Amino acid sequence: MKHIRVPVLFATMLFASTQLNAQHKYKVSQTFPVYGLGKWDYIAVGPDNNLYVSNSSQVNIINKNTGDSVGVITGTEGVHGIAFDEPQKKGYTSNGAANNVTIFDLTTHKQLGKIPTGQNPDAIFYESYSKKIITCNGRSQDLSIIDPVTDKVVSTVNVAGRPETAVSDGKGMLYVNIEDKSEIVAIDLKKMQVTNRWSLAPAEGPTGLAIDRATGRLFAACEKVLVVLNTNGKIITRLPIGEGCDGVAFDNESKVIFTANGEGTITVIKEKSANNFEVLENVTTQKNARTIALDEVSHTIYLPVAEFGPKAPNEKRGQIIAKSFKVLAVK
């Protein structure tokens, strides 16, 4: 029997390797046009099977499968992000130019009111442990903690730096990227105060942040590098990613991390175990596609993007080309 075991084992390993490699190939599968000015930041997958796309002073709502327009939420000046409280059947937008949050009905999409926050609210999300809506306020360097039952700010947490993104372990701890300090701060939600600060150096400019609650791993996207650390602040590894990342997503089922890179790629990284990670591929998307949302039901990745014309000498980038704003679906 020994003379047939080696080729059989080799064939089995080759087949397994081929199957694994086949799973690593992501590509843009659909493109959905979005109507409006195209000055975007975050995109979010709603609990109603729709995509919510920030778009200058409005949020465009489109069907996540077909791209058909479902509605528009207006009066969201300088909107950055969108969050949802499904039990309360309400949504929230962070309006950076207005220093407030817009409340809207998740069924009708009608505006229900506005809540004053800190200055320049950017990222926003629903935190499941405290059952609060949290905004990261860049200019005032703090977080606004909003009770979605009363729709009032119930606490403000100073983070002594520009907070970019926040994630929760679901057990009472919050972790926040501090972009200008290249740090992550840990916040105890029971006490509503910072308990730790961890340097990401030599990595710089953390933007996107995701968490694997099962393994207790944080994924902080910095300039050209993803820093992986545990929830005690110990750095596990650093992995190369594309340039200009502004968003990270983590698929809890497949244990895959995605970084949206403004250079026009997604870096795909496999979490093999809590301490073992592998860069699988860099998927071509479109230049300036830098923010990301993951649908954990269909495992589809969504990225908003637009095309820009030639830039003037004093401009960071050119003007957005009319009718070029779109959402890329990657699978």
Domain assignment of residue 227, given as a range: 28-330
Q: With cut-offs at 50, 70 and 90, classify the pLDDT of residue 38.
A: confident
pLDDT at 64 over 70: yes
- Asked if residue 21 is part of any domain, the answer here is no
DSSP-derived 3-state class of residue 246: strand
Could you report the per-residue pLDDT of 182-225, keeping only the tens digit for each? 999 999 999 999 999 999 999 999 999 999 999 999 999 999 99
Residue 224 lies in a domain: yes
Structurally, the chain folds into a number of domains equal to: 1
Half-sphere exposure of 245 (CA within 13 A, CB side): 33
244 in any annotated domain: yes
What count of other Cβ atoms lies within 10 Å of the Cβ of residue 323? 13
Measuring CA to CA, which residue among 145, 97, 105 is closest to residue 121? 97
pLDDT of 33 above 70: yes
Indicate whether 75 belongs to any domain: yes
* Residue 1 falls inside a structural domain: no
Give me the CATH number covering residue 107: 2.130.10.10
Q: Where residue 26 falls among pLDDT bands split at 50, 70, 90?
A: very high
Q: Spell out the residues 6+ positions from residue 1 whose beta carbon is closer than 8 angstroms to its own.
A: none
Dihedral pair phi/psi, residue 2, rounded to 5°? -60, -30
- Tell whether 60 is covered by a domain: yes
Whether the ω angle into residue 121 lies within 30 degrees of 0, i.e. cis, is: no
Q: Is residue 273 part of a domain?
A: yes
Tell me, yes or no, whether 2 lies in a domain.
no
